[in-house]
């Protein structure tokens, strides 16, 4: 249509706009806007309470017919475009989406000049046990490969020169990309420096094993000089090893219930049992013949004038060409009554014997060699004394020998029982399984 200029209305009625409804849209019903002869209907519809831009992809432009516009299509998509920036300023922005909110862009920034802000909250209000999810998705459009990153969280701050510096990050990646045999890797990095150059280095790495169900490897620290501090207990499942040489052949191991061994170079060096008083030092003498030392502290309260069993030595009934062995057992003991009561008595005693097995068909114990030494006299020693101590050994079977002590009491008012603490040292050779010392 041409401009009216100096034309009369009669000559230019086509240039006049009107609403094509009686009453001119003076209701809540939208009516179309047309030209003067009703040949052209525009995309604008009006009423007294609302307006509408009608038609698929019809557009409302701002400023000029450039990048600032609002449009809608028949698929129900409303598009808002800005040539440079869309600026929304309000105390609260409320976006309600029943399915999803999608933001396509290289960066999204939340900024605030208030201390401890901005705060990002992901909230679920459903009355169930499932929490909301923060998900990182790497969709490269092609087959995944080992080492692909799945997502990264970075932590930046100012250094002393006010340079924005990466001080930490968390990286999730693909450890094994094989289909149906996938495994992941999660690494925690922190900044470390040699005094000149700062770099992010992984200090905690969790990596799933592929082709092995239920196994995750964990690496703590970086570099041989790193220090790992654990505040509290460390629990290791029964029979599992604590390696001291990066998974080689030196480790601590609970080989049985309450029995721990120290293995060095693949050979058991120390064994301690449930009472924490038995130590086995082993070495391989070659030719399937083992030899070593077993030590144990035994203690208890026993009856005077009676040959009470103190401990037993047990060997294993083995079979084959290695079914033999010999040991020598030495006992250092202190025997006392009413010790520390001001009127006690105590003696020292030691003895040793040898034991020999052949094919476990029989066993021989050599005679017990004894040496008793009376302790210095204490106050009122005449009231309670230990006049004699006698040891004995008895072979109760081919594999079991029992050691007993008989302490003879004396004095005007002796105790009926005595206490004994003994250090037992057993040197053995030939047994494939170390002999055991058990308190009676």
At 74-89, the pLDDT tens digits run 888 889 998 888 899 9
| Average of per-residue pLDDT across 281-309 | 75
Six token digits for residue 435: 């002999």
| Average of per-residue pLDDT across 272-297 | 63
- The 10 Å Cβ neighbour count of residue 152 is 13
**Phi, psi at residue 305, to the nearest 5°?**
55, 35
Which residues, listed in sequence order, are joined to residue 403 by a DSSP beta bridge?
311, 393
Contacts of 92 (CB under 8 A, 6+ apart): none
Six token digits for residue 96: 């309600």
**Phi, psi at residue 9, to the nearest 5°?**
-60, -35
Contacts of 76 (CB under 8 A, 6+ apart): none
The overall longest dimension of the chain from CA atoms, in Å, is 150
What is the rounded CA–CA span in Å between residue 404 and residue 61? Answer: 108
**For 17-26, 45-54, 92-101, 213-222, which range has the lowest pLDDT when averaged over its residues?**
17-26
Six token digits for residue 240: 């599992």
pTM over 0.75: no
pLDDT band at 188 (very low <50, low <70, confident <90, very high): very high
What is the rounded CA–CA span in Å between residue 358 and residue 366? Answer: 14
Of residues 363, 361, 433, the one with CA closest to residue 402: 363
pLDDT band at 1 (very low <50, low <70, confident <90, very high): very low
**For 80-94, 280-294, 345-359, which range has the lowest pLDDT when averaged over its residues?**
280-294
* Arithmetic mean of pLDDT over the chain: 83
pLDDT for res 319: 60
pLDDT for res 157: 96
State the DSSP code for 233: -
CB 304 within 8 A of CB 417: yes
pLDDT for res 6: 62
CB 315 within 8 A of CB 323: no
Phi-psi region of 258 (alpha: psi -120 to 50; beta: other; left: phi over 0): left
pLDDT band at 362 (very low <50, low <70, confident <90, very high): low
| Average of per-residue pLDDT across 176-198 | 94
Q: Is residue 287 pLDDT above 50, yes or no?
A: no
Q: Is residue 286 pLDDT above 60, yes or no?
A: no
Pick the more confident residue, 37 or 140.
140
Of residues 48, 15, 56, 13, the one with CA closest to residue 31: 48
| Average of per-residue pLDDT across 203-208 | 96
Long-range contacts, stretch 390-394, CB < 8 angstroms, 24+ apart: 390/307, 391/331, 391/349, 391/351, 392/307, 392/368, 393/353, 393/365, 393/368, 394/365
SS3 annotation, 148-181: CEEEEEEEEEECCCCCEEEEEEEEEEEEECCCCC
Q: Is residue 389 pLDDT above 90, yes or no?
A: no
Cis peptide before 22 (omega within 30 of 0): no
């Amino acid at each position: 249509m041409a401009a009216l200029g100096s034309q009369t209305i009669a000559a230019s009625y086509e240039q006049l706009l009107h609403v094509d409804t009686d009453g001119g849209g003076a209701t809540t019903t939208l009516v179309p806007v047309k030209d003067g002869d009703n040949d052209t209907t525009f995309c604008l519809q009006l009423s007294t309470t609302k307006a509408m831009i009608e038609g698929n992809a019809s557009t409302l432009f701002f400023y000029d017919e450039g990048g600032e516009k609002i449009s809608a299509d028949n698929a129900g998509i409303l598009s808002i475009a800005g040539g440079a920036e869309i600026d929304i300023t309000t105390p609260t922005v409320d976006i309600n989406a029943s399915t999803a909110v999608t933001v396509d862009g290289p960066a999204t920034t939340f900024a605030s000049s208030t201390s401890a802000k901005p705060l990002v909250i992901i909230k679920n209000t459903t009355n169930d046990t499932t929490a909301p999810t923060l998900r990182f998705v790497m969709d490269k459009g092609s087959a995944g490969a080992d080492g692909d990153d799945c997502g990264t969280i970075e932590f930046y701050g100012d250094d002393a020169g006010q340079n924005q510096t990466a001080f930490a990050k968390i990286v999730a990646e693909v450890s094994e990309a094989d289909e149906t045999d996938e495994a992941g890797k999660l690494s925690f990095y922190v900044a470390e420096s040699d005094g000149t150059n700062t770099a992010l280095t992984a200090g905690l790495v969790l990596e799933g094993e592929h082709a092995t169900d239920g196994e995750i490897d964990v690496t703590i620290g970086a570099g041989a000089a790193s220090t790992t501090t654990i505040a509290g207990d460390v629990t290791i499942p029964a029979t599992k090893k604590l390696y001291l040489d990066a998974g080689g052949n030196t480790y601590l191991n609970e080989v049985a219930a309450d029995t721990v061994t120290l293995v060095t170079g693949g050979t058991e060096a120390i064994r301690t049992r449930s009472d924490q008083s038995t130590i086995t030092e082993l070495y391989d003498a070659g030719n399937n013949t083992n030899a070593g030392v077993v030590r144990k502290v035994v203690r208890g309260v026993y009856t005077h004038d009676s040959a009470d069993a103190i401990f037993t030595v047990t060997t294993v009934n083995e079979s084959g060409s290695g079914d033999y062995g010999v040991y020598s057992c030495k006992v250092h003991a202190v025997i006392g009554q009413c010790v520390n009561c001001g009127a006690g008595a105590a003696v020292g005693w030691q003895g040793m014997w040898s034991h020999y097995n052949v094919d476990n068909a029989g066993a021989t114990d050599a005679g017990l060699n004894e040496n008793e030494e009376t302790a210095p006299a204490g106050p009122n020693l005449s009231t309670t004394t230990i006049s004699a101590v006698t040891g004995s050994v008895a072979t109760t079977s081919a594999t079991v020998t029992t050691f007993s002590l008989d302490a003879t009491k004396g004095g005007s008012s002796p105790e009926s029982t005595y206490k004994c603490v003994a250090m037992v040292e057993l040197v053995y050779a030939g047994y494939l399984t170390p002999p055991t010392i058990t308190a009676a």
